[in-house]
Amino acid sequence: MQITSYTDYALRVLIYLAKIPKRQATITEIADFYNISRNHLVKVVHQLGGKGFVKTTRGKGGGLSLQRPPEMIHIGEVVRSMETHFHWVECFDPAQQQCRLLPGCGLKHLLARAGDAYLQVLDAATLADLLSDTDTVESPKKKMSDNLK
């Protein structure tokens, strides 16, 4: 089972925002923190906003914040909303299905059960479960200067 970098970035944005509940963040700030493309992150944040995970405020003093408390954001819901499909193998996609073993192959059914179990584990976890009391979010510049001390 694998998620796309798009979904990975979405989860990273949510974790970042959960770590700073008293303030808003900018896309540039998050992109710099994770060292990822700002342009790519704009698309991710747009979808997170459209799906009700992130609140975006435009203009001076604007930024991003969580739309819901971390305890109310289930990881399975985020993954399902960001991924375009769950075609674990070719035979899951009717347009690509060319396997000569179908319909009698047991692999497809086994992988379907594994995929369901994978998503059940993600459904049981919330954004709050991913946070640690010791984790902090600092700007990359601050981290570098702290290392010089």
Domains, the chain, ordered by start: 5-141 (1.10.10.10)
Distance of CA 117 to the CA centre of its chain: 19
| CA 124 to each of CA 93, 96, 117, 127: distance values in angstroms, whole numbers, following the listed order | 27, 32, 11, 10
pTM (2 d.p.): 0.82
Q: Residue 8: pLDDT above 80?
A: yes
pLDDT digits (tens, 9 = 90+) for 49-95: 999 999 998 888 889 999 999 999 999 999 999 998 877 777 777 77
Section 98-127 average pLDDT: 86
Residue 128: how many CA atoms within 13 Å on its side-chain side?
7
Dihedral sign computed on CA atoms, order 82, 39, 56, 14: positive
pLDDT band, residue 144 (cuts 50/70/90): very low
Q: Give the closest residue to 125 by CA, choosing from 54, 75, 89, 88.
A: 75
Q: Give the closest residue to 132 by CA, choosing from 18, 3, 10.
A: 18
More confident site: 143 or 87: 87
Task: Note the pLDDT of residue 85.
Answer: 80
Q: Are the beta carbons of 17 and 65 closer than 8 angstroms?
A: yes
Task: Note the pLDDT of residue 136.
Answer: 64
- Tally Cβ neighbours within 10 Å of residue 3: 15
Q: What is the CA radius of gyration of the chain?
A: 19
Task: Note the pLDDT of residue 117.
Answer: 94
Tokens of 6: 């798009």
Task: Note the pLDDT of residue 111.
Answer: 85
